[in-house]
Amino acid sequence: MFGNRTLERLDQMLDDALNGEFHESSYDESRLSRLESKWKQYLSTSCLLKENLEKEKESIKSLVSDISHQTKTPMTNIKMYAQLLDESLENGGGESERRLIREIIRQTERLDFLIQSLTKMSRLETNVVEVKPIVQDVSSLLSEVVRGVQSKAQQKKISICCDTENISKASYDLKWTKEALGNILDNAVKYSPIGSKVSIEVTEYELYTDICVKDCGIGIAEEEIPKIFGRFYRSEEVQQEDGVGIGLFLAREIVKKQDGYIKVVSKPGEGTEFHVFLRRIS
């Protein structure tokens, strides 16, 4: 049987480790029992692993910030010079030159979007950025998300039907959930035919609020549905459309960090429904 003094020392070691105050030098090896020595060795290793993980996290955070900062200025300059060149060719250049300039601008914007998405993805995966959900109205979320894709929808003459007067509540982080739902709605507009409709419906359940984005697009085959949330995955059906295959991956990660989930209902040629389930309580 263990003596009370031994149990007290083991308990104190564990308390120190949980409070982040465990120091190997605080315990004299010569005065510890065999079990206490093993316990000390285990806690020392655990604390070292935790310290290394924190250092690695800070290193990744610094690297992501550096990449984001260092690429921002060159990208802005490329876009600016391309636009200036495009303007200078308005009166004197040929159509082929203007077409090339427009393609440079388009590809630069695509690269800029990719860098931003990779930065967000890295921050989420390494927990550099915390998603902090609070209980609030869903209407403000829907209003901001619709506003973000309205211009693109108008260009394709797509109507977005959404009842923003709904008083439903859910637990979510406005900034990051807007990113997640915005990616889903952007896809709905992108893959829907000209002149069609995209609808957003909200349904309350006991534990979750369901935000459903429904389009009239090309649909998704059943065997492809599990793949669409993978990094950089793009179906052969949409290879000609702009995109890098990160939007849905980010959407799922953001919703998952808020104790929610996403369900997809779709058939080829019959459109797609994305159901975003957000917790109703924190």
- Enumerate domains of the chain plus CATH numbers: 1-129 (1.10.287), 134-279 (3.30.565.10)
Provide the pLDDT for residue 1: 44
174-190 vs 139-155: helix axis angle to the nearest 10?
Answer: 30
Identify the CA nearest to 178 among candidates 230, 232, 136. Answer: 136
* pLDDT tens per residue, range 98-152: 777 777 777 777 777 777 777 776 666 666 667 889 999 999 899 999 999 999 8
For position 219, what pLDDT does the model report? 87
Complete DSSP assignment for 124-176: HHTTSS----EEEESHHHHHHHHHHHHHHHHHTT-EEEE-TT---EEEE-HHH
pLDDT digits (tens, 9 = 90+) for 71-108: 666 677 777 777 777 776 666 666 777 777 777 777 77
Contact 143, 171 (CB under 8 A): no
Neighbours of 228 (CB within 10 A): 20
* Residue carrying the six token digits 């260009």: 155
